[in-house]
Structure formats: structure tokens, C-alpha cells
Structure 1
Amino acid sequence: MPTGALPRRAGRRTNLGLLALLLVAGGTGVLAFGVGTPLPSQVVATVHGAAGLGLLLLVPWKTVVVRRSRRRALGRRDPTVAWALAVLVVLTLATGVLHTVGGTAVAVAGVGILQVHVALGVATGLLVVLHAVGARQRPRRSDASRRVLLQAGVLAAGALALWGAVEGGLRLTGAPGGRRRATGSHERGSGDPSAMPVTQWFTDTVPTGDGGALELVAGGRTTRLRASDLDGGDVVTAVLDCTGGWYAEQEWRGVRLDRLLAGSGVELPDGGSVDVVSVTGYRRRLPLDDAAFLLLATHYAGEPLSAGHGAPVRLVAPGRRGYWWVKWVRRVEVVDAPWWLQPPVPLQ
């Protein structure tokens, strides 16, 4: 075996490990936006955090690889992309840790630290693709050898151990990060709507005016309802978990969607869905089978909804992230199309 073969293999394995961790961190970061129920959220958040912290475990080996590469390939390849990628990875990791530790209290130029983290993550993903293409590396049979798989298992175990140590430290010190929800969100304004942040999807805006009557469309029939008609006395205590990194538990009052549809006297399709549309055009489609768990809310904590929180009517969708909770509801329409036949996140 040539004397440089082992270091070259070690360098390749280090790069493969970094790439795998970046892909896992990016994939789970995207997945975290869609998962709102406790156990799946905890799994996704754990894997995301462990993959990010796991990058630190490979820093010593990557440092050796970088020094060796600079001596061997000096002048043969522009290192700009590689160094830009390194900086972005460090900043992405740092902002993720800051959100974990400090939560929504941390901001950069008025922008929440989680939003900065997401933007940096997207930029990192683009540079990973560019760097990988520029490296012109091809998969090899040895990449899936027993030794490599064993090393991957050790890396995964180390990453999980590091994540567990950080989580334990946050709880022991009483830091805000130790009280995060399974999704990673920090508590803001539970039981106190006035302290709950006013946010909406980045393409949406708070409308002016009262929005007019709500239209219930089912079986070809359209029924117009006033907000007062929707205060049916149904009460649900549910957690609004925003993808902006905060959550709040409130008591919501209004009418359950299944009761509203039953009162329409229309036969509902089996396996159908329901489109919930805002006055702004924002919409989400949900399974009709979930109607018993969905609430069209007019009040929270005994008070009428504010404009910023969706007045006069908003959807309450327990177990789903905040972007499913459509504000300023203008139309509810029963459709035959499956609920999953829509973009995974709102595009309008």
C-alpha cells in the first residue's frame, strides 16, 4: 500500500461523514417545519440537533485534511467556495445553538435568530451542492464497507451523546433552552394572548376590514355565515406552535368543523378534504376525517380574536404547526381531492 493511501482514505471518510451530517441536518430541518405532534417532533428535533453538533466531532480530522490539501493542491483549485462553505456551516451551527439556548429573545438586526439560522442553512445547502460538484468525487464500493459503516455508527453515537450532554446542561442550569417544546419552540404568551407574538407566513399580510361573511361550500351549496354564527360554544385547549420558534397554549372557543358541516345538511364525500381559505388567498387543505378535531375559533382565553391573530375567524388545528392554522378565514369548502395534493408548505 502506498504510504499516502491511508491518509487519503481517512480524508475521504471525513468528507463523507461531514456530507452525511450536513444532509441529515438539512433534511430534518426541513421536516421539522411539517411535524407538530410530540413524539415525531422529538425524534426529528433530536436527529437535527445531533447531526449539527456532530459536525464538531469531525473538526480535528477535517483540520488535518485541509492542511494537507493546501500543501498538495496549492494553486490548482480556487478555495473560495470551500472557505465560504466552512464559514456558512460555522454560522449556521452557531445560530442554531443560540436559538436553542436563548430562544426568541435572541435576534439579529431585528430578525429572529431562528429565521437567520434557516436562511444560513439554505445558503449552506446550495454551497454544499456547488462544492460537491466541483470536487468531482464519484461513489466507490469501499464507501459502504463494513469499516466505514462501523465508523458511521460510532460518529452517530458520538453525535447523540454530545446532543444529550448539551440538553442535560441546559436543564441543569435552568436555561430557557431546557424548557423547549419537542419541536424546539420556546414558550411565549400561554394563557395571555396579548403576550403572544403576532406572526404570519412570510408571503401573507394582516388584512384591513372585517373580512365579510364566511362562506361554507359543500355539495354545490354555499351558505354564508357571520362570525357571531360561529361562536358555538365549543372550547378546545390547544398549542399554537409557530415555525418562527415559539409556542403558546390557549383556550380557543368557536365551533367544531364537524358540527358546522353536519348542520349544513349536505352528504359529505368519503375520503374527501376541506379547503380553508383566508381573505388574503392563503389556504391549507386538511383531511375531512379530521373535522372533529378542527375548530373555527372566534375567541381565545375568553376574548375575541385580535386582527393580528386572525379575527374574526381563524382555524385551530391541534397537532399541526402554525402555518396550518389559517387566519382570517373567508371560505371553507369541501372537495373530493386528497388533502396531500397540495404544496407541503404554502406558496401563496
Structure 2
Amino acid sequence: MLRGALPARAGRRTNLGLLVLLLVAGGTGVLAFGVGTPLPSRLVAAAHGAAGLGLLLLVPWKAVVVRRSRARTRGRRDPTAAWGLAVLVGLTVVTGLLHTVAGPGLAVGGVALLQVHVATAVGTAVLLAVHAVGSRQRPRRGDASRRGLLRAGDLAVAAAALWGAVEGGLRLTGAPGARRRGTGSHERGSGDPAAMPVTQWFTDAVPDDAGGTVELVAGGRTTRLRAADLDRGDTVTAVLDCTGGWYATQEWRGVRLDRLLAGAGLPEDGSVDVVSVTGYRRRLPLADAGALLLATHCAGRPLSAGHGAPVRLVAPGRRGYWWVKWVRRVEVVDAPWWLQPPFPLT
């Protein structure tokens, strides 16, 4: 199967296969940060894992390519970028596998393994661009031939089979990775907020003073509400799925956003900006207001400072960076919700 799935001769098609797998792995890795609903996130995570493992299938062929290239270009081309790219690709695959198997508890020098995985992936993207620009290979019409597409399909099947074998092995051995969520996240602190990790987007930080009021701007009016007045008994059990590689299922209590905005004369196709005291913000569709909660409590206890006290947004079905902490202002706007960076920049 493997022999027929991969290029019979090491060379251009090997490099092309590696490039496609790297692009798929990188693209699905970025996409995985934004997808939180079960089925789409599972498909994205599976494609990401299969593409990463597929790189290992091409290692023997790439080794032949490297030996030939060294013989032809000895002394004429600096191999530093190429070797740096190989090292970063290897580190990215290894750290991804270790995080998958063991979960977010592993760290390197105090840095979570998933963060190392992301950092090496970014470095890989940079060196891949440098390496591709310096390469003499250019696209050809034959790259999209029937034979080329069949071989690409065989490679995809082999990569998916390898991913399936790894997943099966995790389940047979009972490794922590067998209990991952569809996004690839591992469970941490469900039902126990004190055991839930304190994390935030890399541009954000726990404020010294989160204040005690929330501004509600809607229908041309600004209303200031005490955080204590937002505990109106509305509850929702939702999964906080952090891009740091962990998730926790908790019961959140506070007030539903649609109840808070009732009678405010809202625009038909508007959005709602939720802004933190730190300046961090996310914009969500106003149509989702019935599913959004301004939470003051988690698992029956008041929120801690690290988890967004006194008020945080709960956005079921969205990744953790949508769950704005330390909410200072909620503002209804006419702009579409998608008119913002896909990931927070501040």
C-alpha cells in the first residue's frame, strides 16, 4: 500500500507532496483555533493530525532527495535554511504528538508543549517561504495530471490510515489522548473552577482592578449596571475550550444577553461588542444573544480574578478567546460581526 501511495522515484513529486502536506497542516492548524463546534472541529483536527503524520511517510524519499542535492550543490548553496527547516518540522511533529498523547501537563522550560508546537510551526512557515523562494522548482502543468492526482490521493489515504492507527493505539492503551475533545483539547477542571487553568490570550493579562460595573450601550442609551445585579439566576452548562489545549465543562450563572437587551430597540442585523477592562474585545452576532451569558458565577461559586471576575462572557460553541473576561462594556452596533480580525490583535 505504502509503496504505491508514494512517489516511486524520489525527486520533484516528493518535494511537492511535502509542500502540500505542510500547507494543509499549517492551514488546518490555524483553522482549528477558530472552530469550536463538535463535528467541524473534529474534521479539522483529523485533517491536521493526518497531514502532520503524513510528513513522516515521506521521510525516506526526502532523505534520497537530500543526498542527491548535496552531491550536486556541494559548496555552491548554503544549506542552513534547509536544515533549519528540517529541524523545525521535526520539532513541530514531535511536540504535536507528545501533546496529543499526554495532554497540556507537559512543558519545556515552563512553556506548555502546545505553545512550543505553535512556535515551531510559525518558524517552519517562515523558513518554508525562504526555502521555497530559493528553490529552482516551479509549478508545472504535469503536477495536476491524472497520475499526479492519483498519487496525491494515495498519499492522503496513507496519511489518514496512519492517523487512524495512532488514534486506535491511544484508545487501546488508555492514554490521556484517548479522551480528547474533538478540537484536540484535554479535560482540565470540569465541575471544579479551582482546578481549571488560568489562561488568557497572549496579548491580554489579569488586571489589577477589574471594576464593579458594566456599561450597557443599546438603543441610543447607556446604562451602568453593578456586577452584583447581573446575577439573575440564568444558568447554562457550557464547555470552555481553550486554544491552550484544554477544556472544562462548567455550569455558569448570570444573565442571558437577550434578557438584558430586551426592549432596547435593537437593529435587525446588528452585532454586539463585548469589551474587557483591558481593552480586549470580541464582536458577536446579535442573533446569538439568546445563547450568550454574562456570567458572575461558575459551578455555584463567584468567579475568581483569573477566570474573569466580576463578569465574563460565556459563548457556547466558540473557542475560549471569544469568552471575554473582566467585561466592562457591552455595546450594540450596526457593523457585521465578521468585520473584525479572525483572532484578537490587542
What interval of TM-score do these two structures reach, taking the shorter chain for normalisation? over 0.9
**Distance in 2 separating the partners of 1:335 and 1:256:** 18
C-alpha spacing 1:156/1:8, structure 2 compared with 1 (3 Å): closer
Deviations 1:171-230 (A, max 9, x none): 110000010000000000000000000001111111122413100000110011011211
Report the counterpart of residue 148 of structure 1 in structure 2: 148
**Distance in 1 separating the partners of 2:110 and 2:41:** 28
Find the partner of 1:313 among 307, 311, 322: 311
C-alpha spacing 1:140/1:210, structure 2 compared with 1 (3 Å): closer
Report the more deviating stretch, 76-85 or 188-197.
76-85
Report the counterpart of residue 187 of structure 1 in structure 2: 187
Report the counterpart of residue 341 of structure 2 in structure 1: 343
- Secondary structure of residue in 2 paired with 1:33: helix
- Secondary structure of residue in 2 paired with 1:183: coil
- Secondary structure of residue in 1 paired with 2:128: helix
**Distance in 2 separating the partners of 1:109 and 1:192:** 27
Instruction: Summarize the alignment of residues 242-261 of structure 1 with structure 2, pairs less than 5 Å apart.
Output: 242-261=242-261
Structure 1 residue identity aligned to 2:282: R
**Distance in 2 separating the partners of 1:80 and 1:220:** 60
Report the more deviating stretch, 288-297 or 68-77.
68-77
Instruction: Summarize the alignment of residues 13-52 of structure 1 with structure 2, pairs less than 5 Å apart.
Output: 13-52=13-52
Report the counterpart of residue 4 of structure 2 in structure 1: none
Structure 1 residue identity aligned to 2:170: L
Please say if residues 10 and 64 of structure 2, whose CA atoms lie closer than 8 Å, have aligned partners that are also in contact: no
Structure 1 residue identity aligned to 2:130: L
Structure 2: stretches of 5+ with no match in the other structure: 1-6
Structure 1: stretches of 5+ with no match in the other structure: 1-6
Please say if residues 10 and 62 of structure 2, whose CA atoms lie closer than 8 Å, have aligned partners that are also in contact: no
The CA deviation at 1:75 is 1.6
**Distance in 1 separating the partners of 2:243 and 2:40:** 15
Structure 1 residue identity aligned to 2:305: A
Amino-acid identity (%): 81
Q: Does 1:128 align with 2:128?
A: yes
Report the counterpart of residue 329 of structure 1 in structure 2: 327
The CA deviation at 1:36 is 0.3
**Distance in 2 separating the partners of 1:56 and 1:341:** 39
**Distance in 2 separating the partners of 1:251 and 1:191:** 7
- Secondary structure of residue in 2 paired with 1:189: coil
Q: Does 1:205 align with 2:205?
A: yes
The CA deviation at 1:10 is 4.0
Structure 2 residue identity aligned to 1:139: P
Please say if residues 272 and 283 of structure 2, whose CA atoms lie closer than 8 Å, have aligned partners that are also in contact: yes
Instruction: Summarize the alignment of residues 24-103 of structure 1 with structure 2, pairs less than 5 Å apart.
Output: 24-103=24-103
The CA deviation at 1:344 is 0.5
Structure 2 residue identity aligned to 1:270: E
Instruction: Summarize the alignment of residues 250-289 of structure 1 with structure 2, pairs less than 5 Å apart.
Output: 250-262=250-262, 265-289=263-287
Deviations 1:27-55 (A, max 9, x none): 00000000000000000000000000000
The CA deviation at 1:74 is 1.3
Question: What is the TM-score of this pair, normalised by structure 1?
Answer: 0.96
**Distance in 2 separating the partners of 1:210 and 1:148:** 58
**Distance in 1 separating the partners of 2:43 and 2:159:** 14
Report the more deviating stretch, 42-51 or 136-145.
136-145
**Distance in 1 separating the partners of 2:99 and 2:9:** 36
**Distance in 2 separating the partners of 1:136 and 1:217:** 57
The CA deviation at 1:122 is 0.2
Report the counterpart of residue 4 of structure 1 in structure 2: none
Please say if residues 196 and 248 of structure 2, whose CA atoms lie closer than 8 Å, have aligned partners that are also in contact: yes
- Secondary structure of residue in 1 paired with 2:11: helix
- Secondary structure of residue in 2 paired with 1:105: coil
Question: What is the TM-score of this pair, normalised by structure 2?
Answer: 0.97
Report the counterpart of residue 115 of structure 2 in structure 1: 115
Report the counterpart of residue 239 of structure 2 in structure 1: 239
Deviations 1:120-169 (A, max 9, x none): 00000000000000003211011111111111000000000000000000
Deviations 1:242-295 (A, max 9, x none): 000000000000000000000xx3211011000000001000000000000000
Aligned residues: 340
Structure 2 residue identity aligned to 1:323: Y
